A and B are shown apart, each in its own frame.
Chain A
Amino acid sequence: QVQLQESGPGLVKPSGTLSLTCAVSGGSISSSNWWSWVRQPPGKGLEWIGEIYHSGSTNYNPSLKSRVTISVDKSKNQFSLKLSSVTAADTAVYYCARVGKYYYDSSGYQPGGCFDIWGQGTMVTVSS
């Protein structure tokens, strides 16, 4: 049973860099799934940040692309998020999630795009 666990500082100073890690257990990060980050500001909705494949390929939300880096460490079975130049607007619960429901068709591998396994989430506050 795949489980995800986020870790990282709960407080980041404005203009600093938010850094989080998601540890994958019960399965391999080198499976055919992509791996994502999603955030949720307090009392608000969900926002997709980006995703990574074990090969290192990434896709980012254009609204955050200039500040986001997602990386993978296959040796540690984990992936990470860095968000630079943070402001109070980046205060949120950050979730890591597995992108599920991939499939194969006549064109080959199709990555899916819904999130079938989630971490518990970690609250990050941006404040001085």
Chain B
Amino acid sequence: DIQMTQSPSTLSASVGDRVTITCRASQSISSWLAWYQQKPGKAPKLLIYKASSLESGVPSRFSGSGSGTEFTLTISSLQPDDFATYYCQQYNSYPFTFGPGTKVDIK
């Protein structure tokens, strides 16, 4: 299985901050990476697919980059609605696997 790691595990930030979350894969996954946002008691929501493609309806302050084994999710200016947990997921090969999550909370 491809192991996914994320850093940091928790991130404290303020509204307006630029936030970057890193996701690493245990082997190359090309660009087959997605990012999700999850709020307490809710299902995850797809933000980014194929490493850098923005899902329809997702604000443009979210962006993704990377390929191979290292990827980043950037929020250019953190908004109150963005405090949540973020997960990366690889879909290069079965079984699909998720990172452990990064919780973004209020500083």
Q: How far is the CA of A46 from the CA of B42 in the complex (A)?
A: 13
Q: Are A45 and B101 in contact (CB under 8 A)?
A: yes
Q: A41 an interface residue at 8 Å Cβ cutoff?
A: no
- A101-B49, A115-B34 known; A45+B91 contact, CB < 8 A: no
- A46-B98, A47-B98 known; A95+B43 contact, CB < 8 A: yes
CB within 8 A of A119: which of B43, B49, B89? Answer: B43
**Which residues between 72 and 107 of chain B lie within 8 Å of chain A, taking CB atoms?**
87, 89, 91-92, 94-101
CB within 8 A of A120: which of B43, B92, B96, B98? Answer: B43
Residues of B within 8 A of A60 (CB): 95
Chain A, Cβ-Cβ closest to B4 = A45
Q: A66 an interface residue at 8 Å Cβ cutoff?
A: no
Output the least CB separation between A85 and chain B (Å).
19
**Which residues between 92 and 128 of chain A lie within 8 Å of chain B, taking CB atoms?**
95, 97, 100-101, 112-116, 118-121
Q: A15 an interface residue at 8 Å Cβ cutoff?
A: no
- A95-B43, A101-B50 known; A116+B55 contact, CB < 8 A: yes
Residues of A within 8 A of B99 (CB): 45
Q: Are A46 and B87 in contact (CB under 8 A)?
A: yes
Q: Are A114 and B91 in contact (CB under 8 A)?
A: yes
Q: Are A45 and B32 in contact (CB under 8 A)?
A: no
Q: How far is the CA of A113 from the CA of B55 in the complex (A)?
A: 14
Residues of A within 8 A of B94 (CB): 59, 61
Output the least CB separation between B37 and chain A (Å).
12
Q: Are A61 and B43 in contact (CB under 8 A)?
A: no
What are 26 pairs between A and B in contact, CB < 8 Å?
A36-B96, A45-B87, A46-B87, A47-B98, A48-B95, A48-B97, A48-B98, A60-B95, A61-B95, A62-B95, A97-B43, A101-B49, A101-B50, A113-B32, A114-B46, A114-B49, A115-B34, A115-B36, A115-B46, A115-B89, A116-B46, A116-B55, A118-B43, A119-B43, A120-B42, A120-B43
Seen from chain B, the residues whose Cβ lies within 8 Å of a Cβ on chain A are 1, 32, 34, 36, 42-46, 49-50, 55, 87, 89, 91-92, 94-101
